[in-house]
Amino acid sequence: MTEISQNQLAKWYEDYEAELMLYAKQWHSEPQAEDIVQDAFIRLLKQRKSPDNVRAWLFRVVRNRAISKVRSLKQQQKADQKIQESEAVWFESSSSDLIDAGMAQNILQKLAANLREIVMLRIWGQMSLKEIAEITGKSIPWIHKEYKRALELIKKELEHSSCTKKKT
């Protein structure tokens, strides 16, 4: 084991980055794969001395990080699904409501998590698009586009629900 120089690290990055990216992409999208590969090189740089087989060490780090990230994403999806499936009542119905509270909750639960978050922050949180962008770390135009998309999906679901009720 020898100490790692910046030149050696740059050479390893040049030599191995493409194959490590290909390896990481079997588990994740390109941006996530890039993060994983860069993380592996950062971890290598933090080593006091270089491993005996740097290439194998990098592949192992990429593999372990990619699998950990898959597990983490699965756990997050399970948690999101439990939240969606929970019987918690979000809204209380009132006779003066224009929309049934249960229907509103059902429609919101059908939205993708990111769309639901935007709608909840915008309508019930009464936040501006700028505030939502700051909270979510997304751009204002992206938030606006997704908000409009969410409203379209809600509108379609409401139209579908009203058509279904008229038939019964």
Q: Is 137 left (phi over 0), alpha (psi -120 to 50) or beta?
A: left
The Cβ of residue 44 has, within 10 Å, a number of other Cβ atoms equal to 20
The Cβ of residue 108 has, within 10 Å, a number of other Cβ atoms equal to 20
Domain 6-83 classification at class level: mainly alpha
Instruction: Find where tokens 């998590």 sit.
Output: 113
Element (H, E) at 84: helix 54-85
Domain boundaries for CATH 1.10.10.10 within the chain: 88-167
In CATH, what number does 88-167 get? 1.10.10.10
Q: pLDDT digit string (tens) for 39-60?
A: 999 999 888 888 889 999 999 9
Helix, strand, coil percentages (3-state) for the chain, rounded to 5, are 75, 0, 25
Domain boundaries for CATH 1.10.1740 within the chain: 6-83
Q: Alpha-carbon distance 62 to 21, whole Å? A: 9
Q: pLDDT digit string (tens) for 106-123?
A: 788 888 888 988 988 888
Helix, strand or coil, per DSSP, at residue 92:
coil
Both structure tokens of 134: 């700051």
Nearest Cα to Cα of residue 105 among 126, 89, 121: 89
Q: Alpha-carbon distance 93 to 111, whole Å? A: 21
Contacts of 43 (CB under 8 A, 6+ apart): 61
Q: Residues 33, 116, 105, 156: is their CA dihedral positive or negative? A: negative
Question: pTM for the whole thing?
Answer: 0.48
Percentage of the chain exceeding pLDDT 70: 83
What is the predicted pLDDT for the residue at 31? Answer: 92
